Amino acid sequence: MSDNLTKTEATEATAATATTTPGTPSGLLWAVLGGSLATAASAFLAWTWTTDFPGNLTIYGNPAPLQLLTLVGAVLTAAYALSALGVKGLGWLSPAGSRKALWIVALGTFATTLFTALSIVVELGALVDLEPGAGVAVVASAVPALAAYRLPDDTRRPARAKALPSWAEILIIVVVFALGLFVVTFGIDTDDSEPQLFIAYLILVGFSATALIKSGVTGRLAAMTARNRQVTVTASLVMAIAFPFIQQSGDTYTLIAVNILIFATVALGLNIVVGLAGLLDLGYVAFLGVGAYTAALVSGATSSAFGVQFPFWAAALTGMAASLVFGVVIGAPTLRLRGDYLAIVTLGFGEIFRIAMGNLDGTSGPQITNGPNGIPNIPQLEFFGYNFGEPHTVLGVELGAYANYYLLMILIMVIVVVVFSRAGNSRIGRAWVAIREDETAATAMGINGFRVKLVAFALGAALAGLAGTVQAHVNTTVVPENYVFAGPVPPNSAFLLAAVILGGMGTISGPIVGSALLFLIPAKLSFLQDYQLLGFGIALILLMRFRPEGLIANKRAKLEFHENDEQPDVPEQRRPADAESDAGTAKAGA
């Protein structure tokens, strides 16, 4: 008995010693923590000696924005390392395991730091332009990435979260949305003369978001927001409205936000057609053009062939009605087709619309749209004396013209989201999903497939037309070149479809996120315009490989795409028969 106790004590002592030896999980975690702290300290050093590099990385003790990104990544890496070491109060960072999340965020910090150092060398032309602080940052950030990679996998099923009081959950939701607003604003407000900052921002945000997903934090937050739906909706609305009030550069970047909202509204309409009903529409941007041209013709433009000026609400309804009629006219003879045939027909409709708008110039056709020159000088909107084209002071903050249109698009986005959610949860919404999954089976169950698809086509077209009415007033001109299948500037049909697929088909937030990424990245990285489609194709290939259900997927799509994935190791429950068999075997052995 004493020998057994001695062996047990020796084993425990050996295990205790192993946990602190470098190369063991505990030793590797301490290496991650030390490297993260060194990386954070390096952000306060000078990384270059000259101010010729954008951002001024020459000051000690005052990190530039590029150095702040490294600092944030280092702090997040250190937090995950402390969580893996079992520090009380940080267990919520890794409910599904910390190893993958720790490695991903450490790798993201290293990639961000290395990119900054390489940018300095390329921009200034020599390796000697780096100060020792940059070398310290690169080496120190590489240590956590290498150490975290060697950690054993600790993936597990997330344990049931401890119940929190309602006020605590509401506070967490508010803090998360406020942090999200800060992160989004930081990315949009990056100076266009510093593309390195925006690229580094994308690297760090991408890796950090992936780490939060892998660790299970986003799943916990999703459950929390589902329990407090009204608070979540209110917080998201307040966050969106607050955006123009915290802009430091006036309307410089608010225009980007307005175009993102227009793009997202049209993508949500397409999501009804593609995401819910499963209809591949490659000419959807034409419905946006119908709404824009209709609004331009009836809003009092100087070159309008009709010479009328409707108030905005009437112009918006007219644009929606015109797009809806076009949707029915195009859908009625074509929706009996399926798959590639329907896609080809809709692609043809999009090109026919663009060419027709260019030919209605009084020479090739009637004088309606002024041909390739389009309809310029569309007047600014005006509600009860409130001119959207003029700056106004609201709550002590001066809002420019684009901020006015931004708030209008927030209202329209709310309307579109309500329509999408109500339609998707209705009887016809369930019919759309049935048609998408198996049209033959749905028809056999009594669903009128043609009528259901026509309703989806018409509703999606109407929502696109509504967004088009605002786009016409924001741009103050409408030209046929804005409504092509694929081009360098979104929205176009290819980018709209990509936004739905990238964000997640059949969801509300998915197309919004996809639209924001696909519009913001080209707008901020204009120097890559010639390689935009190449990068776009590479991104889609990577997405289809690693996350085919989209960035924000519904439960059905997630289960369909990952039903064969390996599940975390979970102890199997022993059946009574197995226990009896083991008992019989033991008796036989005895």
Residue pLDDT, tens place only, 227-280: 888 888 888 888 888 888 887 666 777 888 888 899 999 999 899 888 888 888
Confidence category of residue 372, pLDDT binned at 50, 70, 90: confident
CA distances from 586 to 59, 281, 574, 578, 589 (A): 74, 66, 16, 12, 5
Q: What pLDDT is recorded for position 534?
A: 77
Confidence category of residue 359, pLDDT binned at 50, 70, 90: confident
For residues 491 and 417, state if they share a domain.
Answer: yes
For the ranges 36-40, 165-169, 519-523, 543-547, the maximum mean pLDDT occurs at: 36-40
For residues 430 and 319, state if they share a domain.
Answer: yes
Location of structure tokens 């002024």 = 370
The reply to whether 541 falls in a domain is: no
- What lies within 8 Å, CB to CB, of 61 at 6+ separation is 44
Q: Which long-range contacts (CB under 8 A, 24 or more apart) does 439-447 make?
A: 439/338
Q: Which amino acid is at 189?
A: D
Q: Residues 424-453: what's their mean pLDDT? A: 86
C-alpha neighbours within 13 Å on the C-beta side of residue 163:
1
Q: Measured between alpha carbons, how far is 432 from 398 in angstroms, rounded to an integer? A: 45
Percent of the chain with pLDDT over 70: 86
Q: Which of 382 and 179 is assigned the larger pLDDT?
A: 179
The reply to whether 533 falls in a domain is: no
Whether the CB-CB separation of 28 and 151 falls below 8 Å is answered with yes
For residues 457 and 321, state if they share a domain.
Answer: yes
- What lies within 8 Å, CB to CB, of 533 at 6+ separation is 486
Q: What pLDDT is recorded for position 18?
A: 38
C-alpha neighbours within 13 Å on the C-beta side of residue 278:
19
The reply to whether 509 falls in a domain is: yes
The reply to whether 348 falls in a domain is: yes
Q: What pLDDT is recorded for position 2?
A: 43
Q: What pLDDT is recorded for position 5?
A: 42
How is the chain split among helix, strand and coil, in percent rounded to 5? 70, 5, 30
Secondary structure, 3-state, 413-439 = HHHHHHHHHHHHCCHHHHHHHHHHHCH
DSSP readout, 454-483? HHHHHHHHHHHHHHHHHHHHHHS-B-GGGS
Whether the CB-CB separation of 406 and 398 falls below 8 Å is answered with no
For residues 294 and 223, state if they share a domain.
Answer: no
Domain that holds residue 70: 20-235
Q: What pLDDT is recorded for position 98?
A: 67
Question: Where a domain ends, among 522, 542, 574?
Answer: 522
For residues 231 and 375, state if they share a domain.
Answer: no
Nearest to 459 by CA among 490, 428, 484: 428
For residues 159 and 306, state if they share a domain.
Answer: no
User: How far is C-alpha 13 from the geometric centre of its chain's CA atoms?
Assistant: 50
Q: Give the angle subtended at the CA of 264 by the CAs of 259 and 269, to the nearest 5°.
A: 130
Q: Measured between alpha carbons, how far is 390 from 369 in angstroms, rounded to an integer? A: 27
The reply to whether 132 falls in a domain is: yes
The reply to whether 179 falls in a domain is: yes
Q: What pLDDT is recorded for position 161?
A: 62
Q: Residues 362-377: what's their mean pLDDT? A: 80
For residues 215 and 294, state if they share a domain.
Answer: no
Q: For 324-336, write each residue's pLDDT tens digit.
A: 998 888 888 888 8
Q: What pLDDT is recorded for position 195?
A: 83
CATH code where residue 391 lies: 1.10.3470
Q: For 490-518, write each residue's pLDDT tens digit.
A: 778 888 888 888 888 888 888 888 888 88
Q: Residues 367-394: what's their mean pLDDT? A: 80
The reply to whether 560 falls in a domain is: no
Q: What pLDDT is recorded for position 17?
A: 38
The tally of domains found in the chain comes to 2
Nearest to 361 by CA among 503, 480, 483, 200: 480
For residues 202 and 288, state if they share a domain.
Answer: no
Q: What pLDDT is recorded for position 558?
A: 65
DSSP readout, 77-125? HHHHHHHHTT-TT-GGG-TT-SHHHHHHHHHHHHHHHHHHHHHHHHHHS
DSSP H or E stretch at residue 140: helix 132-149
For residues 299 and 177, state if they share a domain.
Answer: no
Whether the CB-CB separation of 491 and 270 falls below 8 Å is answered with no
Q: Residues 23-52: what's their mean pLDDT? A: 87
Q: Measured between alpha carbons, how far is 588 from 583 in angstroms, rounded to an integer? A: 9
For residues 317 and 206, state if they share a domain.
Answer: no
Question: Alpha-carbon dihedral of residues 112, 115, 117, 118, nearest 10 degrees?
Answer: 170
Q: Residues 411-417: what's their mean pLDDT? A: 89
Q: What pLDDT is recorded for position 109?
A: 94
Question: Where a domain ends, among 522, 553, 568?
Answer: 522
Confidence category of residue 4, pLDDT binned at 50, 70, 90: very low
Q: Measured between alpha carbons, how far is 536 from 78 in angstroms, rounded to an integer? A: 33
For residues 331 and 223, state if they share a domain.
Answer: no
For the ranges 35-44, 153-162, 448-457, 513-522, the maximum mean pLDDT occurs at: 35-44
For residues 43 and 104, state if they share a domain.
Answer: yes
User: How far is C-alpha 447 from the geometric centre of its chain's CA atoms?
Assistant: 34
Nearest to 139 by CA among 53, 26, 36: 36
The reply to whether 586 falls in a domain is: no
Q: For 66-116, write each residue's pLDDT tens digit.
A: 999 999 999 999 988 888 888 877 777 777 766 788 899 999 999 999 999
Burial of 473 by CB count in 10 Å (0-12 exposed, 13-18 middle, 19+ buried)?
Answer: buried
Q: Is the dihedral of CA 172, 178, 181, 182 positive or negative?
A: negative
Question: Where a domain ends, among 522, 542, 570?
Answer: 522
Q: Measured between alpha carbons, how far is 302 from 149 in angstroms, rounded to an integer? A: 65
119 token code pair: 């940018």
Flag whether pLDDT at 427 surpasses 60: yes
170 token code pair: 């509401």
Q: Measured between alpha carbons, how far is 145 from 80 in angstroms, rounded to an integer? A: 12
User: How far is C-alpha 542 from the geometric centre of its chain's CA atoms?
Assistant: 15
Q: Could you give the 3-state DSSP secondary structure of residue 574? A: coil
For the ranges 88-97, 304-313, 508-517, 565-574, the maximum mean pLDDT occurs at: 508-517
